[in-house]
């Protein structure tokens, strides 16, 4: 019975990848807050996380070696969508700076949470190995 | 790693906003400049921003989109005319032309540019903190 990293922290590693992508998009939105004609974009976090193999928190159980593992979704599963503008603007720019800042802060918090969970798992496994 | 691209994107935003602040400073400094003809007088300048879509950092889908200044445009609004026949700059009819800079508009522009600059700095700081935390993953 081998220790499998994949089963214990797969969802957090996936959340890390999605929050990274999302952080790039939100940073672009903030940098282009004054660009005429720029449309704000974002990733639907929950949909992107579920598009990966399995639902949130549940890993695919394989009771037989012949069972195929769940497909780990590639980068194509993260769909970039346009944000619905909150107020009309003269130059076609749909970035609401305060909204984007709040979303960016929330995204950074998700990233730190995923890091904390992964770090906790690693430390727990290390303790189990050392026997302390 | 995706977070590295954020530095390039936020850096481009900061550079673009500083060019915008430069034009605001030029406009305010030359707000009372006078000239003898409409062609020679200082005209208010404005930056033109553009998102760099085709060179998106990190791939086409979901990559970072930096911003760049494609040009600085001069305002085409007519300059302010003042009747000063005794001025050495007055033209044949006694008019002197002043720059068409609106100080209130320039101050609002300056506030908006500094806010955007600050938010880009905050984005860069947060990205740096997250990457530092990632590097400490698994350490005691």
Give the other-Cβ count within 10 Å of A10's Cβ: 18
Rounded distance, CA B130 to CA B92, Å?
Answer: 66
pLDDT digit string, tens, across residues A68-127:
655 444 444 567 888 888 888 888 899 999 999 999 999 999 999 999 999 988 888 888
Q: How close B16 comes to chain A (CA, Å)?
A: 9
Tens of pLDDT, residue by residue over B12-44, are 999 999 999 999 999 999 998 888 888 889 999
Arithmetic mean of pLDDT over chain A: 81
Range B3-31 burial, b when 16+ CB lie within 10 A, else e? bebbbbbbebbbbbbeebbebbebbbebb
Per-residue 3-state assignment (H helix, E strand, C coil) for A59-80: CCCCCCCCCCCCCCCCHHHCCE
Q: Which residues of chain A have a CB within 8 Å of the CB of B135?
A: none
pTM attached to this predicted model: 0.81
Chain B residues contacting A, CB < 8 Å?
1-3, 5-6, 9-10, 12-13, 16-17, 20, 49-51, 57-59, 61-67, 112-113, 115-116, 119-120, 122-123, 126-127, 129-130, 133-134, 137-138, 140
Residues 6+ apart with CB under 8 A from A10: A53, A54, A59, A72
A110 in Cβ contact with A15 (< 8 Å):
yes
**Mean pLDDT of the B94-123 span:** 94
Count of CB atoms within 10 A of residue A94's CB?
18
Is the interface score ipTM higher than 0.85? Answer: no
| Cβ atoms within 10 Å of B48's Cβ, excluding its own | 12
Note whether A24 contacts B112, CB cutoff 8 Å: no
């Amino acid at each position: 019975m081998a220790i499998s990293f994949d089963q214990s922290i797969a969802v957090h590693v996936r959340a890390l990848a999605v929050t990274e992508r999302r952080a790039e998009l939100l940073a672009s939105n903030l940098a282009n807050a004054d660009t005429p004609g720029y449309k704000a974009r974002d990733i639907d976090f929950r949909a992107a996380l579920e598009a990966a193999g399995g639902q949130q928190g549940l890993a695919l159980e394989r009771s037989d070696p012949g069972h195929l593992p769940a497909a780990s979704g590639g980068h194509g599963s993260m769909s970039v969508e346009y944000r619905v503008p909150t107020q009309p603007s003269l130059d076609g720019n749909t970035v609401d700076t305060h909204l984007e800042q709040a979303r960016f802060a929330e995204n950074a918090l998700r990233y730190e949470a995923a890091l904390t969970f992964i770090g906790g798992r690693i430390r727990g496994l290390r303790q189990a190995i050392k026997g302390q | 790693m995706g977070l590295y691209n954020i530095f390039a994107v936020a850096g481009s935003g900061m550079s673009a906003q500083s060019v915008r602040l430069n034009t605001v400073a030029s406009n305010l400094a030359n707000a009372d400049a006078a000239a003898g003809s409409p062609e020679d007088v200082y005209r208010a300048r404005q930056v033109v921003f553009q998102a760099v879509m085709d060179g998106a950092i990190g791939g086409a889908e979901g990559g970072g989109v930096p911003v760049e200044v494609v040009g600085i445009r001069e305002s085409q609004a007519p300059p302010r005319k003042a009747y000063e026949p005794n001025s050495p700059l007055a033209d044949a009819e006694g008019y002197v032309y002043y720059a068409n800079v609106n100080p209130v508009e320039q101050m609002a522009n300056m506030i908006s540019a500094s806010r955007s600059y600050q938010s880009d700095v905050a984005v860069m700081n947060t990205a740096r903190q997250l990457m530092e935390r990632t590097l400490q993953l698994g350490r005691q």
